[in-house]
Structure formats: C-alpha cells, structure tokens
Amino acid sequence: MPKSIRLKIALIGIGLIGCAVIAVFVFDANPLVKAKPENRSLDQLLVDMGVEIFSSRTSQVEVRLQDLNGADVNISDFRGKIVFLNFWATWCPTCVVEMPSMEKLHRKLKDKDFAMVSISIQDSAAEVKRFFKHNKLTFTALLDSSGKTVPGFGIRAIPTTLLLDKTGRIIGRVMGPREWDSRESIAMFKHLVDEPAADSTEISSLQQQLPSIALGKI
C-alpha cells in the first residue's frame, strides 16, 4: 500500500478518534443527557418520547363507542384525567408489540388521574376479546369495526396514540410504537397527571407547526 494512502487512512483514523473524544465530552457535559428521567422537565420528556405537540388547542374530544361488553363508552367519561388514547388493530404487528408496555404503564398509573383507552380498528369484538384475554390486558378496549373514527382524527397509520389533557383536549400525538413502560414515559405521564387541569395544555416552548384538528362528535 503506498505511503500516501496509509498516511491518509491514519489521519482519518486520528480524526475519528478525536471526534469520538469530543462527542463523549459533550455528552458527559450535557446536563439534560445526564439528568435522570425523573429530574427532567416535561418539555424534555415530551421530546424524548417523540410526542408531536399540537400548535393550538383542539376542541374537546367526543367519541362514543362500545366496549367489549357492548356498553356505550364516551371519551368524555374520562374528563378530569390524562387520557392515553391508542388506535390499534390485532392485525397490526407493531401495535401488538407495544401492548405489553402499555399494560405496565396502565398498572403503574391506574390509581391516579390517568386513563388508558384503546380503540381497535376493523376488528371484531371476538378478536379483541381473545387478544386481551391471551395477553392479560386490563385497560379499556373500545371497538371501531367500521373505522369511522379514523378520518375524524386524521389517523394515517397505526399504532397512533393521542394524549388528552384533563379537559379532554389533545395535547399531542405519537405515531408508531413506543416503550411505554420506560422511565422516560412513566416520568412524562407523572408530570402530566400532577399538573392542574387548567395548565395541562400549556406546553408552549415545544409548539410545532402542526395542523390543528377540529374534532366533531363521533
């Protein structure tokens, strides 16, 4: 191998090592990176979990669907609580993957001002019942066998999770699966649960230019 080429390779290697050292130093010096999830701000936790913050307040969510026992349930029944509203289906592999972590989050916070509600899209009651029984899931399951809620919420893919404040308005949206039982997730929801109802939508420092959704009654 010519010396000039070997010299170039050596210089590139030294450069990469130098970048790595700098990166380690910066990472180590960043207080947000070092901070434990429990000590991070709500804004930072929302970023960590990949939550898209809505740029303006939506109208209060009004959705009435049947649960697995055939009883009518309205999302407004959960006013006064932070609502984890998850759109999923038994035929969606990534939806299935995140369900166990959702159950763990539900068990962790079910005795606080928190409600986990799943809406299955184009599944039969029998399919969802079988799935919940097999996976020992205990949170609220609603059925949307016709998919009528999808257009009203602008759902483009599943799983999609909407976070509702205590007044029933959407705080933000998460597209794709997450580890909902992670320390970051639990810390984020504890922040939201502990906030007064009037303040739970005031996350102004992270507002992005996302289209607001004008939700009607479904």
Tell me: the pLDDT tens digits for 88-146? 999 999 999 999 999 999 999 999 999 999 999 999 999 999 999 999 999 999 999 99
For the chain, give the number of residues: 218
Tens of pLDDT, residue by residue over 15-33, are 434 443 343 333 344 554 5
> Quick one: pLDDT band at residue 198, thresholds 50, 70, 90?
low
Q: What is the pLDDT of residues 57-71, one digit of tens each?
A: 788 999 999 999 999
Burial of residue 9 (number of CB atoms within 10 Å: 0-12, 13-18, 19+): exposed
Give pLDDT, residue 10.
Answer: 36
Residue 132 neighbours by CB distance under 10 Å: 19
- H or E stretch at 194: helix 183-194
Instruction: Report residue 69 as tokens.
Output: 């026992």
pLDDT (0 to 100) of residue 30: 53
Sheet holding 160-164, edge to edge: 52-53, 170-175, 160-164, 82-88, 114-121, 140-144, 64-67, 72-74
- Per-residue pLDDT tens over the stretch 156-184: 999 999 999 999 999 999 999 999 999 99
